[in-house]
Amino acid sequence: MIVEKLTIKNKTGLHARPATLFVETAKKFKSKILVEKEGKKVDAKSLIGILSLGVEQGQDIVIHVEGPDEKEAFEELKRMIDSGLGEGE
């Protein structure tokens, strides 16, 4: 299991387009992926769940990944977050 805190860098946070990209990427993997903000955990493969967190620029999230492809899933999601989720930083 991988549990790691990451900071959202892009200007719009995890809203609309970047959240959709995040969810679509999470769905590629078999592993169970959760996103946590301030103690609330949601399924990373649920757009409604991700949007319900209201993550804004500069806020931290914790990603929990467990399953057969957890390392690959975490690395790809981390890379996306670090690069601004398609919007740059």
pLDDT exceeds cutoff 90 at 23: yes
Residue 87 DSSP class? T
Residue 49 is part of which domain span?
Answer: 2-82
pLDDT exceeds cutoff 90 at 27: yes
pLDDT exceeds cutoff 60 at 89: no
- 87 within some domain: no
Q: What is the CATH classification number for the domain harbouring 53?
A: 3.30.1340.10
42 has which bridge partners? 35
CA distance 40 to 26: 18
Which residues does the annotation mark as catalytic?
A: 15
Alpha helices in the chain (DSSP H): 16-26, 47-53, 70-82
Model pLDDT for residues 35-69, shown as the tens digit of each residue: 999 999 999 999 999 999 999 999 999 999 999 99
Residue 1 DSSP class? -
Residue 30 DSSP class? S
- 49 within some domain: yes
- 53 within some domain: yes
- 43 within some domain: yes
pLDDT recorded at residue 79? 95
Question: What is the residue whose two structure tokens read 């990209």?
Answer: 21
**What domain count does the chain have?**
1
